[in-house]
Amino acid sequence: MPGKAIIFSAPSGSGKTTIVKYLLDHNPDLGFSISASTRDKRGRKETHGKDYYFLTPEEFKLKIDNNEFIEWEEVYEGNYYGTLKSEIQRIWDEGKNVIFDVDVKGGLNLKRYFGDKALAIFVKVPSIEILEERLRNRGTESHASLSQRLFKAKFEMTFQDKFDVVLVNEELDQSLQQAQQLYDDFKRK
């Protein structure tokens, strides 16, 4: 039944984006909620309107003033992220359930907003050391941003018990199957 929301949240590098992409590839009844952000694109890999709606800080603040966001926050200093109400309506108008790939605070805010129409999943790595290794292997982090992300990850992990499910992403294939089962069970409710 369309009109539901499945929320994946995790510290950066936990694998939530890989899991979300897998579910999108295997479930035509899911639509991806594209977040708005003021951060810079990561090289040529990211596209406006596909990965994010890249906005200037002024554009983002205008949308805040116009009450166009379900939720928004300043995730890192000067970098705002948010979920546009129009984005959710677009997906529901297509007759699909919406899937989110958001940070932990955003995930909790979305869970509060959608209530019983949402399943909030916290994706966890087995250890901070594994998380650090994954972030380093991405090749997108400076020393300062890596340190910032690890500090934030330790804090975010303290909120895992506020989610409906904690999915430990130790073995990717197993995690993908678990995520699929969670979605299958949730959409039947």
Query: For the chain, what is the radius of gyration of the CA atoms?
Result: 16
Q: What is the mean pLDDT of the chain?
A: 89
pLDDT range class, residue 20, cuts 50, 70, 90: very high
Mean pLDDT on 150-174: 90
CA dihedral 134, 103, 183, 53 (to 10 degrees): -100
In this structure, are residues 106 and 87 in contact, taking their beta carbons and an 8 Å threshold?
no
Q: What angle do CA 169, 172, 13 make, to 5 degrees?
A: 55
Mean pLDDT on 143-156: 79
pLDDT for the residue 40:
82
Instruction: Return the DSSP state at 43.
Output: T
Compute φ and ψ for 124, nearest 5 degrees. -120, 140
Residue 59 CA to residue 38 CA, distance in Å, equals 9
pLDDT for the residue 1:
54
Strands 79-84 and 36-37: antiparallel
Mean pLDDT on 162-180: 95
Please give the C-alpha separations between residue 40 and each of 2, 6, 50, 85, 116, in angstroms, as whole numbers. Answer: 33, 26, 14, 22, 34
- pLDDT tens column, 62-91: 999 999 999 998 877 788 999 999 999 999
pLDDT range class, residue 103, cuts 50, 70, 90: confident
Whether residue 118 is predicted with pLDDT greater than 70 in this model: the reply is yes
pLDDT for the residue 62:
96
Question: What percent of the chain is predicted at pLDDT more than 70?
Answer: 98
Closest CA to 141 of 126, 127, 131: 131
Residue 166 CA to residue 48 CA, distance in Å, equals 31
Residue 166 CA to residue 63 CA, distance in Å, equals 32
Non-local (6+) Cβ contacts of 106 within 8 A are 9, 35, 71, 73, 75, 81, 82, 83, 100
pLDDT for the residue 166:
96
Whether residue 163 is predicted with pLDDT greater than 90 in this model: the reply is yes
Q: Encoding tokens for residue 188?
A: 């039947």
pLDDT range class, residue 129, cuts 50, 70, 90: confident
